[in-house]
Amino acid sequence: MWGASNEELNELATMFATSAFWSNVLDTQNYGYNTFINRLKQMGEYMTKTKNK
C-alpha cells in the first residue's frame, strides 16, 4: 500500500485495533474525556520524573 512494507502495515493494523478496542472500553464505562486526558498527563509527569532513576 503506497510503498509500505508488510511490517509497517501490520503495525498500522495493530495500532488501529488497539485504539478501537480501548475507545470502546472507555466509552462503555462512561469514562469522561477530561478524566482520560488528566490521567494521561499524570502518567506523563510520573514517567518524566522517574525516567532516570
Q: Tell me what pLDDT residue 10 has.
A: 95
**pTM of the predicted model, to two decimals?**
0.52
- C-beta of residue 34 within 8 angstroms of C-beta of residue 42: no
- Rounded distance, CA 33 to CA 37, Å? 6
The predicted pLDDT at position 1 comes to 64
Q: What is the DSSP letter of 5?
A: -
Q: Would the pLDDT of 53 be above 70? A: no
List, for residues 10-45, the tens digit of each pLDDT value: 999 999 999 999 888 888 888 888 998 999 999 999
